[in-house]
Structure 1
Amino acid sequence: MKLILNQSGEELPVISVWGMGGLGKTTLVIDAYQSQDLSGMFEKRACVTLKRPFVLEEFLRTLVMQLDAESSGRRSAMMGVEELIKDHFGLSTRRSLAMMGADELIREVARILQRRTCLIVLDDLSSIVVWDSIIRNLPRFENTSRIIVTTREENVARHCSSKQENVYKLKVLQDKDALDLFTKKVFKETADLDNHPELISEAKAILKKCNGLPLALVTIGGFLTNQPKTVLEWRKLNKHISAELEMNPELEAIKSILRKSYDGLPYHLKSCFLYLSIFPEDHEISWRRLVRRWTAEGYSQEIRDKSVEEVASGYLKELIDRSMILPSQQSIYSRKGIDSCHVHDLMREIGISKSTEENLVFRLEEGCSSNTQGIVRHLAINGNWKGDKSEIESMVDLSRVRSLTIFGMVRPFFISEKMKMLRVLDLERTKGLVDHHLQQIGEFYHLKYLSLRGCGDIYNLPESLGNLRQLQTLDIAFTNVMKLPKSFAKLTRLRYFCAGTVQLDEDEPYEKMVENMSILVGNRLCLPTLYSLACCVVCCAPRLLKSCIDMDGEPNRHDVCTVCCYNRIPLLLTRQSIRGVQVPKGIRKLKALQTMGLVNLAQGKKILSDIMRLTRLRKLAVTGICLRNARKLCSAIDNLSNLESLLLRAEGTIGLLGCLLLVSSPPENLQSLKLYGTIGELPPWIEKLHNLVKLTLRSTRILDSNASKTLDVLGKLPNLTILRLLKESFWGLEVHLSFVGGAFSSLMVMEFDRPIGIKSVGFQQGAMPKLELLDFCAWYQEACVGMLTGLSFLTSLKKFTLSGGTYDNDFVEDLQTQLAMNPNPPVFHRMAPPSATIVAEEASQSV
């Protein structure tokens, strides 16, 4: 109502209301349209629901009828067309109107609206093309007139409204409002479910499926009104919601509205949407995972100057814009505003229904029907399914399966040798997978996507990996693989290679592993003796060794031998970095590589000669940097002109000191830079990174004498949006950081994590004019009053997060006082330190 009543002086204010189907966009707009507050403001009104396919003449004809029939405040604009004709037109007029062409109708609209204020509602606008066709054929409006558009697509809404503040995103109901609406509908009155304690659990399950969608809450609540209010009845609805949506006429409205969204998709987006039914309910699907899977499946093709990945990313963005899937952001430090997505529960039920109809996706899970399915393209198995190998083979023709996705616990027969046409094998975050389960991996010659991400019991990849000549994505991040087989260099079509071990605690080097291994042979034995005896134990007592290395799966003798002889013991003997993976010689042949990391450079400089030849690389992450390979590394960075993301890491006290000074021409398009290791001062080439969006400093130990210079350089980077100053990024007895006015003009997110040695952080007036989120985490370091000052000058700040351990009450009160003095007081939020899993995930985002 405020948007409608606002006299902005704009030529023609267009208000766009958008959101997914079932949110109540039309209901909201009509409620405002009929409001008494608008009485007398508009001389003419019309509300037209746009049909598909759109016919301009039909639209204009309906518009003429309503405008000519309505005067402000006298009649409802929602009367049927036939009723309007009978009430306001004679038979001859109806005939003449039916015979009018588009040009005549346009002139008639202009005649009716001449020098009159009007309110026009265009309900369910489906495309920019339709809008352009409508607005092009309407007369010039008075600036006191209004057009209101409802649409399911964000890009349509933003196209219609020239001012972004006139774009109104309608959101789902919050939990309390959803519960109130549901109980009122079920019990015909405002009721408290506490009066029906036996129904609370099932009610929560229903509300979760509805996920704040008013249409679903009202429809399901209305259906339950006339049903017995028993746990059994509500549980039955929860369990068979998909079938109920299909068969129950009382729930037809939900299916009809949501299917309308699906039916309006172009063909290529229908396939992409149905593909999402592979993933379980409430599953957060990362942008990375989905786009790379779609490209492997052939869902996107290269178009002119756009790569297949860019096209697939466009499809995902389009599904979000069309409100088919819901965007989310798992990390606030991601360069992308959206780095993951999920599907509304009821929209997911529509997807499951359609994908089952088309034999596209078959999901094996607890309670799954054993009806024969025959040919399916995509098989998803939940680890809680209790069937056996023969049951799978009786239900699914495994020779036709193109993708296999497993969630939870892996059982060896899930990966069948019969899956000869397999393109995608996704085992991300599964449990129970050990090395010998992958021995047959080289037989899946058509495989394009292989993910073992988060499978901590994988220590070694077989030599047969080289048989996968079609492979585009190999993701072994957060496994224990530290060395790749020589055959890795044969994967000439590989585009994305992501690695890095599960051992990510920065402060726990080798002592823990030494302690675990020493359990077998005693703490006083030297390493060679340890090696010999450990090998003996491998041969004689694999189960004993298994308990020491803590494997979740069921390894055989060969698996345990691999862990010790090719992984743990060599690591102890060489004391090399445990956070990267060694790659074999010859990777210069992998010309298609766009993403590579985390690669360990500690074994020599030759690998850098290979990396230098990979000129299509856009993301690179390396560790094991030292003075011996520094010159070669700088030459490689200079040569990789397409780099957009770079992570450089060094272990030990010396770290990166002196290693980065020889970079002469850094990649012009570099957007993300992460430096882990001592540098003392910023390399001079950083000031040339005019396209840098994100910078992370960790253990860089920039000296207090260089602090002001560092902030001056970084503050001038025009596109720097995210700045993370993590543990020991600055170094000294008393480091004082002052952010001056005019600096960091584009910064929106800033993090201080364990600012050891930093005595004060001050923000001057005019500093960071766009900063929206400030995250401060001292963990267990004492933070005192006055450590943070000037928070009231951060005029765009929306949220201040205080993470970590226990803080003095005076310190917290001081922060809250400063924030309260801010012209737009931001939200103050206390939270616990991030879990190791979250830290690990964020550390991996460069790859």
Structure 2
Amino acid sequence: MELAAAALGSLLRKLGSLLTNEYRLQKAVRGEIRFLQAEMESMQAALECVSKLPADKIDGIHKIWARDLKELVYDIEDNVDAFMVRIDTPVDGKTHSFRRYFDRIIDLLTKAKHRHQISNEIQEIKNRIQEVSGRRERYKFENIVVHPDNKKMDPRLPSLYVDVKKLVALLMRGEGGKKQQLLVVSIVGVGGLGETSLAHLVYQRIRRQFQSQAFVSVSLKPEINKIFSSILRQVSGMEYPNDEAWDQTELIAKIRQILEKNRYIIVFDDIWSDSAWIQIKCALIENNLGSKVIVTTRNVDVAKISCSPIDATLYELDPLSYEDSKRLLYSRVYNEGEEIHPELEEVSRNFLKKCGGVPLAIITIAGLLASRHKAKYEWYSVYKSMGSGLEKDKTMENMREILHLSYCDLPSYLKPCLLYLSMFPEDHMIPRYDLVLTWVAEGFVDEKQGSNLYDIAKWYFNELVNRSIIQPVNKDENGNAKYCRVHDMILDLIISLSVQENFVTISEGSHLIAPARKIRRLSLQGTKVYCNKEATTEEQAILPSTVNVSQVRSLIASGDTCKCPPPLSRFAILRVLSLTCFPGKRNHVKDLGSLLHLRYLKLGGKLEVELLKELGNLQHLKALDLFSADIEELPASIIRLRQLECLIIPRTVKVPNGIENLMSLELLRWLNVEKSLGTLVGLGNLIKLQGLGISGLHSSESCAETFLQGLSNLGNLRRLSFRGHGICSLNCMPDQWQGPSHLQRFCSNDLTFCQVPRWFSSLSELSNVSIRVNLLRQGDLELLGALPVLCFLKLQVDPNGTTDKQLVVGANQPFRCLTEFEFYHYSRCWLVFAQGVMPKLQRLELSFGVRKREDGGFDTGLENLLSLKHVAFKVDCTGARIREVQDAETKIRNVVGIHPSHPVLTLSRKHENLKRKE
């Protein structure tokens, strides 16, 4: 029901647009459109009535009616979009005035023809609407009684309850010996018990004690080359262009070469078969440095063959006890310090009995209850909707029932967003921004006055996270997930619902069987798709010509499917296109420029220059992501994309002059000003920019001054990031010069600035700063400490930079809102914290060089940071004896040990191989 309602919402907005003077429709046609609008609004009201019924109370007839209505709405929207595209397509400007005049005359005649054509199409649509509307009259929608739905968001995401200490002790036993063998520990349990969560928590707890680290997902249908590529990138900390095109022998050899001399920890998550483990373990090496490997699996046989032949290395996860289950449930439902409601004890016990100690089920139930009143009748209504209790041997059926209930409880605007996740393969790390951009391009996001569509889509994403339906991965300093994963049990449910609703069609393998219904969204998830040169064109095709893809709105290809890219001319109304899996050789996707409906485009791999030239034809494109593409420059035609709102490209790509024409841009990342110096002049015209990434900023004062002049015009800018090398100054403007007043985030981790920019003092909304400087003085700390809403600060001093021997964080720079502080400087500088400063600081990370600490003391005033929960010290061992390093670590432990709030301490070493011999 909700999917039909979501489609209707998008259509109604477009019908409203057609009625504006912009399209200059005939009077009779405008009347017909008003009729369509009224009918659609009436059907939307009927759908809302039915959708408020419990899912099991909606009969088959109403479901069929809603399904047919959804398909009708899609067809109408396709027609409306086609008309809008034909009318909106501009005529190219020509140098010859007579030719330009002639083209405009032809354009006017063509558009008049299109306006007449829509009149005929509306008549056909009207007949279909009357048929569907007639059936609605025959099916009674009246007398539906629905209780009010009160919702709130769960603002907390506490860690899953697991006994980490036991597994850490198992992994780290025997440490300190001269010869420490590789240890492999297997975690085994049924799906949903929390194997991945346990492995991840343990990994995060001890990873800093290892020189090389990796966490990789394997899944049911593993792509071994991709797994090896991921391991290689993580353990080396480097990018290897086109490494997925290497053969396994090359990848394994390179991984073993790196691991041979490094103490390493690798987690292999979700291995399903012994054959997968046999292939994967070829990359591991015994280096007698105490390296660790963690394997998670549901298969006991896999667990047995993978773990080390030592007692207790096979770690079996049991369901949570009742008390632990209750602790997990209440931690999700109640706010910290909130009183537990005793009248809910009995119904809570019923919930937990049904969950069977499975954390995933408990978290899902908690997500349901957190959005309801804490009233006995509310909770019992949820419990009764789950059906009768299940026996012990039906835990998985019970889990699926709970997950389905969680889906039914979602608000209507979130359901299409969730089902869209079935477009991505199992265990895929899905970038948040990919979802945000595709949801907007598909029309899933409702417009709200005064709100940006992309901000609303981010809120949708966070709501799915808060409801524990998707798993956040790799959070930034503000706690926002950069990626997400979908638990495979939830993914199974999503795929099942998507197929049932004809929402997504998935092709796994080299061929797609033509479905009975129209394909609206197509996901090509090939794992071993190769083109046989001796085969016919039809035999090679991933999409045989018998498959009708003319109504496909989204096409996402992954795996090896781009080795035989489908002809895009068959996708007449495509809105979303993601082809990121091109192999090493250059590819040319034909007819890209014919996709006039395209709103979102993501391409990766090696791309032909001719393909890029076609980008200028995509006049309705809103988002272009070429970040993973192997290209040297953007085509000049890019500046014709006047509706483009997001442009994401590699840091080294040259951008043509004329970027000031892209006045709809809200996100631009990355703009290489070293290769595209002329673009700096026009930067100030992009007044809608909210996010800007700059690379290659020159050290010359004229370059920085031109950049700052443009920056001062960007009044809507919220996020500013820099990448590059060398040293640059942003203090070349007069003292009265002010930066973009609404700037919230400033990030530069590798480009070094001479000093902290003075104009930071004018940024009252700056909450997040990550900066690397060559010179740090007491006055810089005072400037940063006075920022009223600064909550995260990462401050690095260049290894060759200078600073005062001691910096005091005192009453003049209290950092009143700071919650996280990282300070990196391996010279003689040391921070001292006075009383009353940083009253909200919870996480502190400091670094120092042992040989640079002449007095060896650690009197930093750490005890004055009363809210501390986590403290991390990075110890640079360069030139130090092992005894000196150990003494320094002992003093740190003593200082942290007497801290009044007893924070968690993490110690790690840097350049341990550069220690002096005793």
Per-residue deviation, 1:486? 0.4
Q: Report the counterpart of residue 644 of structure 2 in structure 1.
A: 494
Mapped pair 1:400 → 2:470: no
Per-residue deviation, 1:172? 5.9
- Distance across 1 between alignment mates of 2:554 and 2:595: 11
Per-residue deviation, 1:758? 4.3
Work out whether residues 694 and 721 of structure 1, in 8 Å CA contact, stay in contact via their aligned partners in 2: yes
Q: Does 296-305 or 759-768 show the bigger shift? A: 759-768
Change (3 A) 1:347 1:317: same
* Secondary structure at 1:687 match in 2: helix
Change (3 A) 1:201 1:406: farther
TM-score, with structure 2 as normaliser: 0.54
Q: Does 490-499 or 338-347 show the bigger shift? A: 338-347
Work out whether residues 620 and 646 of structure 1, in 8 Å CA contact, stay in contact via their aligned partners in 2: yes
Change (3 A) 1:201 1:804: farther
Q: Report the counterpart of residue 502 of structure 2 in structure 1.
A: 359
- Distance across 2 between alignment mates of 1:815 and 1:284: 37
Mapped pair 1:827 → 2:904: yes
Mapped pair 1:421 → 2:573: yes
Per-residue deviation, 1:435? 4.4
Per-residue deviation, 1:367? 10
- Distance across 1 between alignment mates of 2:163 and 2:495: 26
Q: Report the counterpart of residue 21 of structure 1 in structure 2.
A: none
* Secondary structure at 2:798 match in 1: coil
Change (3 A) 1:284 1:207: farther
Q: Report the counterpart of residue 688 of structure 1 in structure 2.
A: 762
Work out whether residues 874 and 909 of structure 2, in 8 Å CA contact, stay in contact via their aligned partners in 1: yes
Per-residue deviation, 1:613? 1.0
1:297-316 matches, within 5 Å, as 297-316=442-461
Change (3 A) 1:499 1:814: farther
Select the residue among 832, 835, 840 that pairs with 1:770.
840
- Distance across 2 between alignment mates of 1:648 and 1:670: 14
Post-superposition Cα deviations, 1:325-354, rounded to whole Å, max 9, x if no partner, equal 33x251443x35343333233222111110
Post-superposition Cα deviations, 1:531-576, rounded to whole Å, max 9, x if no partner, equal xxxxxxxxxxxxxxxxxxxxxxxxxxxxxxxxxxxxxxxxxxxxxx
Q: Structure 1: 5+ residue runs without aligned partners?
A: 1-51, 55-126, 132-152, 159-166, 186-192, 222-244, 502-579, 835-847
Q: Report the counterpart of residue 674 of structure 2 in structure 1.
A: 602
Post-superposition Cα deviations, 1:505-549, rounded to whole Å, max 9, x if no partner, equal xxxxxxxxxxxxxxxxxxxxxxxxxxxxxxxxxxxxxxxxxxxxx
Q: Report the counterpart of residue 618 of structure 1 in structure 2.
A: 690
Select the residue among 247, 250, 253 that pairs with 2:398.
253
What letter corresponds to residue 433 of structure 2 in structure 1? R
Mapped pair 1:330 → 2:401: no
Per-residue deviation, 1:400? 2.8
Per-residue deviation, 1:282? 3.1
* Secondary structure at 1:682 match in 2: coil
- Distance across 2 between alignment mates of 1:778 and 1:597: 34
- Distance across 1 between alignment mates of 2:529 and 2:354: 33
Select the residue among 412, 423, 431 that pairs with 1:286.
431
Post-superposition Cα deviations, 1:746-778, rounded to whole Å, max 9, x if no partner, equal 11122234x143431222232222122223456
- Distance across 1 between alignment mates of 2:730 and 2:739: 18
Mapped pair 1:761 → 2:842: no
**Count, aligned residues:** 560
Work out whether residues 563 and 583 of structure 2, in 8 Å CA contact, stay in contact via their aligned partners in 1: no
- Distance across 2 between alignment mates of 1:724 and 1:458: 40
Change (3 A) 1:499 1:717: same
Mapped pair 1:412 → 2:553: no
Per-residue deviation, 1:200? 3.9
Work out whether residues 476 and 500 of structure 1, in 8 Å CA contact, stay in contact via their aligned partners in 2: yes
Work out whether residues 586 and 610 of structure 1, in 8 Å CA contact, stay in contact via their aligned partners in 2: yes
Post-superposition Cα deviations, 1:438-473, rounded to whole Å, max 9, x if no partner, equal 4643232222212236x4788996211111112111
Q: Report the counterpart of residue 673 of structure 1 in structure 2.
A: 746
Work out whether residues 769 and 796 of structure 1, in 8 Å CA contact, stay in contact via their aligned partners in 2: yes
What letter corresponds to residue 412 of structure 2 in structure 1? Y
Work out whether residues 681 and 702 of structure 1, in 8 Å CA contact, stay in contact via their aligned partners in 2: yes
* Secondary structure at 2:779 match in 1: helix
Per-residue deviation, 1:128? 11
Select the residue among 598, 601, 610 that pairs with 1:450.
601
Q: Report the counterpart of residue 818 of structure 2 in structure 1.
A: 747
Q: Report the counterpart of residue 794 of structure 2 in structure 1.
A: 724
Per-residue deviation, 1:487? 0.4
Change (3 A) 1:392 1:606: closer
Larger Rg: 1
What letter corresponds to residue 861 of structure 2 in structure 1? G
Q: Does 273-282 or 207-216 show the bigger shift? A: 207-216
* Secondary structure at 2:790 match in 1: coil
Per-residue deviation, 1:496? 0.9
Q: Does 486-495 or 640-649 show the bigger shift? A: 640-649
- Distance across 2 between alignment mates of 1:198 and 1:403: 40
- Distance across 2 between alignment mates of 1:384 and 1:317: 31
Post-superposition Cα deviations, 1:654-687, rounded to whole Å, max 9, x if no partner, equal x226545577132111001135655433332111
Q: Report the counterpart of residue 706 of structure 2 in structure 1.
A: 632
Per-residue deviation, 1:431? 5.7
- Distance across 1 between alignment mates of 2:575 and 2:304: 41
- Distance across 1 between alignment mates of 2:636 and 2:511: 42
Q: Report the counterpart of residue 375 of structure 1 in structure 2.
A: 518
Q: Structure 2: 5+ residue runs without aligned partners?
A: 1-51, 55-145, 168-185, 194-295, 307-313, 330-351, 360-389, 532-539, 912-918
Select the residue among 404, 408, 422 that pairs with 1:277.
422
Work out whether residues 720 and 744 of structure 1, in 8 Å CA contact, stay in contact via their aligned partners in 2: yes
Post-superposition Cα deviations, 1:138-184, rounded to whole Å, max 9, x if no partner, equal xxxxxxxxxxxxxxx762x67xxxxxxxx99794656889989979x
Q: Report the counterpart of residue 512 of structure 1 in structure 2.
A: none
Change (3 A) 1:425 1:760: same
What letter corresponds to residue 866 of structure 2 in structure 1? T
Root mean square deviation, CA, Å: 4.5
- Distance across 1 between alignment mates of 2:791 and 2:516: 50
Work out whether residues 274 and 355 of structure 1, in 8 Å CA contact, stay in contact via their aligned partners in 2: yes
Q: Report the counterpart of residue 574 of structure 1 in structure 2.
A: none
Q: Report the counterpart of residue 793 of structure 1 in structure 2.
A: 864
- Distance across 1 between alignment mates of 2:355 and 2:634: 53
What letter corresponds to residue 818 of structure 1 in structure 2? V
- Distance across 2 between alignment mates of 1:682 and 1:593: 28
- Distance across 2 between alignment mates of 1:432 and 1:305: 43
- Distance across 2 between alignment mates of 1:413 and 1:690: 53
* Secondary structure at 1:299 match in 2: coil
- Distance across 1 between alignment mates of 2:638 and 2:593: 12
